[in-house]
Structure 1
């Protein structure tokens, strides 16, 4: 059975990016000011990968394979490590598309080259700009959502998408142990807001929420 993650060009790209991401702390230490707006933050962090862990990537792949969503939405592409895992699952399902968002022009250009090199570009659409604007008019309702951009925007992005979320939609938030994710967690863990949640203990934790 096909597993695109194991194809040499995809596996090599992921190995290369994970290795580069190991230097994130050193790169971040050289940044004097991350700015106050999302765009300023993105520009300052244009060389920082901020990836999901390899284990989290495999979990994302398995979840998308299992639920077979027609549309996957990702908030926060960065250099595209998580995007490749999502796109590999979509490709192996034989149906669907990944719509991802990113503010950094540098990261977008680099990621698009990687997507082309791995043969996954045809199932990925990159929306450049503030996700609160670019995701406002999605052509299709997402069946799977990954939140992995600026943590303080998790809740606003979820609320933006919420009218389009059908019962059974999975929403996965990375870095659930970060203090800046607490408002989001408080919202999805409140039963009245219509989610069933579980925290998955990979690096920095994933919060997996099913829309009820």
Structure 2
């Protein structure tokens, strides 16, 4: 079975990015208290040098979910430097169908992500949309088969609600960093059967919630 994650170009790019991300604790940013009170664009600009990636195991999970569900349209909220995007794109490439639409507010990160995808040879299956996801995704047509929510945590639920009319039956929605307190409203929503999801937490670093649009 083809697994593009093992391709030398892809593997070297992912390994390089994870190595760089391991130094996030030295990233120079304003105080976290100031960041919490800042607007989303100001936060994105202040953290333009920080990777804030998914975990390696989380990336492998994303790859497996895309390979198994074979979505035609994948949406990623919060592309950053493109580590998660590379895993999604590798799966789309191996499926031989589909396209990934990433979103990122930091223009610097948009450029880095595009270069990283091209370096890995996967730029052709990804479009990275710069700006506020609630605007940039507004014109994206469905049906959407898989969504990764890994942007600002207080926006995960609003972004999901925006996308819901375009979700395919059985669509998979993955949310990262569910251990953060700011994800409480999101988790309450997807875990309430009245809202149309079957949802389960998956034990990777910082936690992922996997929800099926039932």
| Shorter-chain TM-score tier | over 0.9
Q: Confirm or deny that 1:102 pairs with 2:114.
A: no
The structure 1 segments of at least 4 consecutive aligned residues displaced by more than 2 Å after TM superposition are: 30-35
Q: Which residue of 2 aligns with 1:37?
A: 39
Would you say the 8 A contact 2:142–2:168 is kept in 1? no
Q: What do the CA deviations read for 1:110-148 (whole angstroms, capped 9, x no partner)?
A: 111111111100000011100010111112321000000
Would you say the 8 A contact 2:102–2:127 is kept in 1? yes
Q: CA–CA distance in 2 between the matches of 1:166 and 1:18?
A: 32
- The aligned runs of 1:60-99 (5 Å cut-off) are 60-99=62-101
Q: 1:178 aligns with which of 180, 187, 204?
A: 180
Q: Confirm or deny that 1:7 pairs with 2:26.
A: no
137-146 vs 13-22, which moves further: 137-146
Q: Which residue of 2 aligns with 1:154?
A: 156
Q: CA–CA distance in 1 between the matches of 2:69 and 2:203?
A: 21
Give unpaired runs (5+ residues) of structure 2: none
Would you say the 8 A contact 2:141–2:166 is kept in 1? no
Q: May I ask how many residue pairs the two structures share in their alignment?
A: 211
Q: Secondary structure at the match of 1:167?
A: strand
57-66 vs 107-116, which moves further: 107-116
Q: Which residue of 2 aligns with 1:210?
A: 212
TM-score, reference length from structure 1: 0.97
Give unpaired runs (5+ residues) of structure 1: none
Would you say the 8 A contact 2:73–2:146 is kept in 1? yes
Q: Which residue of 1 aligns with 2:20?
A: 20
Q: Secondary structure at the match of 1:69?
A: coil
Q: CA–CA distance in 1 between the matches of 2:86 and 2:15?
A: 12
TM-score, reference length from structure 2: 0.96
